[in-house]
Chains A and B, each alone.
Chain A
C-alpha cells in the first residue's frame, strides 16, 4: 500500500473513532470528496489500523454498473465471512432472524424457511432489525468495523439499512464507515445523518503542491504543471504522470484522464483488450471465470490477465480468482469506451453464461435489461422473476424491472402482463408511488375480460384504496358505487365485497353512519348466501362498524360469531379471508378484548405475510401494539410499534407513519416517558396537519392532547383535544374509546378549575359509557366522576366511584388504568381521613406500576406517599435465587442457558461470538445476581425456575420419598 500523504488531520479523527468504538460504542464515519481524492485510501488506512488492533473488519463496495443489486455492498462485506462461520452460531440468532438473513445473504441459504423471509415490501424493517442484531453479535468478541465504499452507487436497500442503523444504532462496539462522492449521497439518507454526536464527517480536500510532489515522487519544481492541472487530486495526478497526458484547453481533467485510460487500453494486445472489456461488463471486482467465459468459452485467458495485471489496469483482491480495477474511474472509462455493439454482445454473453450456471435471476436481469431483444420471452420471464425476488428488499428496482419485463415480452401474454402489473403495483405502493401503482392496476383492469368479475372487483377495491391514499375520496367512492351498479345482483358475493369496501371507504373518511349502513347491507346479503367464509368476513366488518357506531350488543354478537367461524377455518381459508380477520381485530380492540386482539392480530400478520397483503399492516401493527400496551405488555407493544414506525418510514407513507407514531406515543405515555411521547405525538400531528379530516388526523390530535396534559400544558391540551375530536362532545372519536377521552377532558377541566364544565363533560362520559358498555370505558367514566367528587369535596362519592373503577379496570385486564384508579382510591381515602388505608392503597398501586415499569404512575405514587410522610425505598433490580433470574440481562440469560446445556466457556464463546474472557466476566455477574458460586448452581436455579410446577406457587408440592 502506498504511503498516505497529507492526511494527518483525517487520521487523527480515525484514531479518535477507533478509541471510542473500542469502549463499546457505536460510531459512524462519513467520508466524502470528489472522485480520486483518496476516500478509499483513507478507508484502507482505517481497515489496516482496526485490523492491527484485533478488530473484525468487513469491507464491501458498491459498483457503478451494479447499483441495482439489493444489499450489494452489504453482501460484498459480509457474505463470505458468514459462510465461514459455524452454522450453529447463526442458528443461535433464532429461526426468525436467521430466516430473514437467509433472504439477504446467499451463504445463509440453508436457513431459509417458508415463513422467515421478508416476502413483503413494507416489512423491509425486519431485514434491518435482523442485520443490526447480526452486527451486534459479530462485534461480541472484538470491535467490528463495517466499511462500505462508494455508497453513492449503492442500491436502495443498502441505503435504507444505513439509515436504519443511524436511527436505531446498534448497542455494541461497531464502527460503520462509508465513503461517497461529494453531493452524490441519496437525499433521504443524507437528511437522516444529521444526528449530532453519532457521526463524524470527513470531507477530503486536495493535496497542496508539496504533498502532490511527494505523492508522485517528483521535485516540487517539476510537479507544478501536474499540480496546476489536477488541483492536487491524488488519483488524477498519478494518472497524468503515468500516461504522460496533459490537459488541453477547454477540457476537464476527468475527460483527459478518461482519454488517457482509453489510450492505455489501446496499447493492449487484442486478447488483453477483449479481456478488459469483458471484465468491465462483468463487474468490479470481477471473477476471472466469468470473464473467461464471456471472452473465449473454454479457453484460457491467463496471458491476457497477466498483461492487465502487469500494466496495472487490474489488481488482485484477497480472493485468488477475483480481481478489481485499479480504480472505479478506470473501469468507467473502459466501459464507456466499449463500442455499443461489443457492449451489447458482452452483456448478452454475460447473461447467457450466468443463466447456464444457474445464477440468481437478479444477476442475469442486470445484463438482460441492457441487452435483451424485444419479444424475447425467456428474458422477459427471467427479468420478471428477478423483479418478484427483489420486490421485498428493493421495491423501486422491482418497479423498474417490471417495466423492462413488460417491454420485452412479446405482444399478448395477458396472464403474464396481469401478474407483472400486479407485482409492479404492489412494489410501487410500498414506496408510496401510489400514482404509478394506480396506473399499473388500471392497465391490468383494461386487460381483464368482462366475465372475470371476481378479479375486477378485487382490482377495483385495490384501486379505490389507492385513490383514498391519494386523497381522491370522491373518485374512490364513485369507482365502488359504479362497480356496484354494474353488478347484476346486489346479493352476490361480489356485491358483498364491494359493499364491504364501501364501508371501509366510509371508515377512512370518518363517516360512521355511512359505514354502518354499508356494513349492514353487506351482512344482510351475506346471510342470504350459503358461503360461511363470506358470512364470517361480513360479520367481522359489521362488528367493526357497530363497535365504532353502535349498537355495541350487535358488535359483540358479530365479533363472537366471526371469531368462532375463523377458529374453524383452515390456514388456506384464513389466508383467503385475512381482510376479514383484520376487521375482527379492529372490532375486538374497540370491544376491549385485548388478548383476542393480540392473538388474532398475530394470526392476521402471519396470514398477510403469507399472502403478500402489505396493505393490512398500517392498521394491524398499531392495533396489536395498542392492545399490548393497554394490557401492560410493554415489551411486546414496543417491539411491534417500533417495527410499525420503521415500516412506515421505509414506505414513505405519511398516513401509516402518523398512525404508528401516535400509537407509539400512547405507549410512551403509559410507560411514563413523556419526552418520547412529546416527540412522537408532535411528529404525528405534523404529518396530518395538511389533511382535511380522517380517522388518523383525529387520533393524532387526541393523543397529542393527552401528551400535553401529562406535560402540564392543560389549556393547550384542552383546545387540541376539542379541536381534533369535533368539540366538547368529542363526536369524532368512535365507540367506547370516546369515554376515555371525555374522562381526560373532565380531568383537564378540573385541573383548570372549571368544575361546572367538568361536570357537564363527566356526564357525557357516563352517558357514553352506558351506551357503549365496556368495562374499561366504564372504569374511565367512574374515575372521572371520582375526580370530580374529590374536586367538589364529596370524598365519599369519590371513594366509591374510584373503587368501582379499580374493579372494572382489573376486569378489563388494564393494569395501568387499574393503578391510576387505585391512586384515586388512595386520594379519596386520604380525603376521608383514613391515612393508613390510603397508604396501603398507594403502596399497592406503586407495586403494580413498578412491576410494569410504568414510571409516571410510579412517580405519582411516590410523590403522594412522601406527602403522607412515608419513606420510599426503591427496589433493587437484582435479587437472588429465582427472583435474580429476572434481573439477568438478555446476554447473561443466553450464557446461563448455555451453562444449563453443559457448554464449556470456550463453546459458549464460539456460539455467541464472544471472547472467553467476556464469557468469564458475564459468568461472574450471573453468579452475583443469582447468589450462587458454581455453574452447577446456575443450572439448578434456572432449571428450577423453568419447572412447570413450582412448589407453593402453581401447584401442590410433590415430595419424593428418599
Chain B
C-alpha cells in the first residue's frame, strides 16, 4: 500500500456549498435532483425554504471546488457558491 506523501493527503478537502434560489424556483430546485445520481440524495441538510429564506447548505468532501459542485444537479450548482473550509478552534 502506498503511503501518502503528506499527512493532509489522508483527508479530503471539505467544502461548504451555499445554494440560493428565488421563491418561484423552489419546486425546480427540488425536482432537479430527480434522475440525478449523487451521494447527497436521501440525506438531510439545512434549508431555509420552509421559512421563506430559500437557501440551502451542504458540507461535502471533494477533490476540488468543481468536484464539490458536481455533486449537485446543474440547476442547483449554477445557483451556488462553494467555499473550502476547515475546522476552526474558537478561542
Spell out A's residues near B (CB within 8 Å).
Answer: 51, 54-58, 79-81, 83-86, 107, 141-142, 144, 318-322, 910
Looking at chain B's contact residues, the main secondary structure is helix
Spell out B's residues near A (CB within 8 Å).
Answer: 25-32, 34-35, 37, 47, 49-50, 52, 73-75
For B34, what are the chain A residues with a Cβ–Cβ distance below 8 Å?
51, 56-58, 81
Q: In the bound complex, do residue A320 and residue B35 qualify as a contact, i.e. CB atoms below 8 Å apart?
A: no
Partner of A80, one of B30, B35, B74: B30
Q: In the bound complex, do residue A84 and residue B73 qualify as a contact, i.e. CB atoms below 8 Å apart?
A: yes
For A107, what are the chain B residues with a Cβ–Cβ distance below 8 Å?
28
- Distance in angstroms between the alpha carbons of A81 and B36 in the assembled complex: 11
Sample (18) of A-B pairs whose CB atoms are under 8 Å apart: A51-B34, A54-B35, A57-B35, A79-B27, A80-B27, A80-B30, A80-B31, A81-B28, A83-B27, A83-B75, A84-B29, A84-B32, A142-B35, A319-B26, A319-B27, A320-B47, A320-B50, A321-B50
Q: In the bound complex, do residue A141 and residue B35 qualify as a contact, i.e. CB atoms below 8 Å apart?
A: yes
Chain A residue at minimum C-beta to C-beta distance from B78: A86
Question: Number of A-B pairs whose CB atoms are under 8 Å?
Answer: 52
Report the minimum CB–CB distance from A110 to chain B (whole Å).
Answer: 13
Q: In the bound complex, do residue B35 and residue A56 qualify as a contact, i.e. CB atoms below 8 Å apart?
A: yes
Partner of A81, one of B25, B31, B74: B31
Q: A85-B75, A320-B50 are in contact. Are A55 and B35 (CB under 8 A)?
A: yes
Q: A320-B50, A321-B49 are in contact. Are A83 and B31 (CB under 8 A)?
A: yes
The 6 closest A-B pairs by CB, nearest first: A56-B35, A84-B32, A320-B49, A80-B31, A83-B28, A80-B27
Partner of B25, one of A54, A55, A83, A144: A83
Looking at chain A's contact residues, the main secondary structure is mixed
Report the minimum CB–CB distance from B34 to chain A (whole Å).
Answer: 6
Q: In the bound complex, do residue A320 and residue B26 qualify as a contact, i.e. CB atoms below 8 Å apart?
A: yes
For A322, what are the chain B residues with a Cβ–Cβ distance below 8 Å?
27
Chain A residue at minimum C-beta to C-beta distance from B76: A84
Q: In the bound complex, do residue B74 and residue A319 qualify as a contact, i.e. CB atoms below 8 Å apart?
A: no
Q: A84-B73, A84-B75 are in contact. Are A318 and B30 (CB under 8 A)?
A: yes
Chain A residue at minimum C-beta to C-beta distance from B35: A56
For B75, what are the chain A residues with a Cβ–Cβ distance below 8 Å?
83-85
Which of A318, A321, A322, A910 has its CB near the most chain B CB atoms (within 10 A)? A321
Report the minimum CB–CB distance from B65 to chain A (whole Å).
Answer: 18
Report the minimum CB–CB distance from B48 to chain A (whole Å).
Answer: 9
For B28, what are the chain A residues with a Cβ–Cβ distance below 8 Å?
80-81, 83-84, 107
Q: In the bound complex, do residue A54 and residue B73 qualify as a contact, i.e. CB atoms below 8 Å apart?
A: no
Report the minimum CB–CB distance from A298 to chain B (whole Å).
Answer: 14
- Distance in angstroms between the alpha carbons of A79 and B73 in the assembled complex: 17
Chain B residue at minimum C-beta to C-beta distance from A913: B35
- Distance in angstroms between the alpha carbons of A322 and B35 in the assembled complex: 21
Report the minimum CB–CB distance from B72 to chain A (whole Å).
Answer: 11
- Distance in angstroms between the alpha carbons of A318 and B47 in the assembled complex: 12
- Distance in angstroms between the alpha carbons of A320 and B25 in the assembled complex: 11
Q: A320-B47, A321-B26 are in contact. Are A86 and B35 (CB under 8 A)?
A: no
- Distance in angstroms between the alpha carbons of A83 and B35 in the assembled complex: 15
Which of B29, B30, B32, B34 has its CB near the most chain A CB atoms (within 10 A)? B34
- Distance in angstroms between the alpha carbons of A55 and B36 in the assembled complex: 9
For B52, what are the chain A residues with a Cβ–Cβ distance below 8 Å?
321
Chain B residue at minimum C-beta to C-beta distance from A107: B28
